[in-house]
Amino acid sequence: VELWRSRSFLVVAGLGFLLGGASLARDLPNLSRDTAPAEEAIRQAYGGYIGDRNFVINRGNGLHEFYFTRAIYSSWNRGYGRRGRGSWATDWPKADVQFLWGLKRLTNIDAYDFDNPVTLDNPDLRRYPFLYMLEVGAMQLSPPEVEGLRDYLTAGGFLFVDDFWGTYEWQVFEHEIHKVLPNYEIVELPLDHALFSNFYVIEEILQVPNVGNGRSGYGTWEQDGYVPHVRAIFDDDGRLLVLINWNTDLGDAWEWAEDPWYPLTYSNFAYQMAVNAIIYAMSH
pLDDT digits (tens, 9 = 90+) for 224-237: 989 999 999 999 99
- Over the stretch 28-80, which tens digit does the pLDDT of each residue have? 444 333 333 334 445 555 555 566 677 787 887 788 999 999 999 998 865 43
Give which of 56, 78, 75, 43 is closest to 122, Cα–Cα.
56
Domains and CATH numbers, the chain: 16-283 (3.40.50.12140)
pLDDT score recorded for residue 146: 98
pLDDT of residue 50: 60
What is the pLDDT, as a whole number, of residue 284?
Answer: 87
Q: What is the pLDDT of residue 43?
A: 52
The residues with which 105 forms a beta bridge, in sequence order, are: none
Mean per-residue pLDDT over the chain, rounded: 84
| 69 contacts: CB under 8 Å, gap ≥ 6 | 116, 117, 118, 125, 128, 130, 131, 132
Give the mean model confidence (pLDDT) for residues 138-163: 97
Contact 267, 253 (CB under 8 A): yes
Lowest model confidence (mean pLDDT) among 71-80, 124-133, 191-200: 71-80
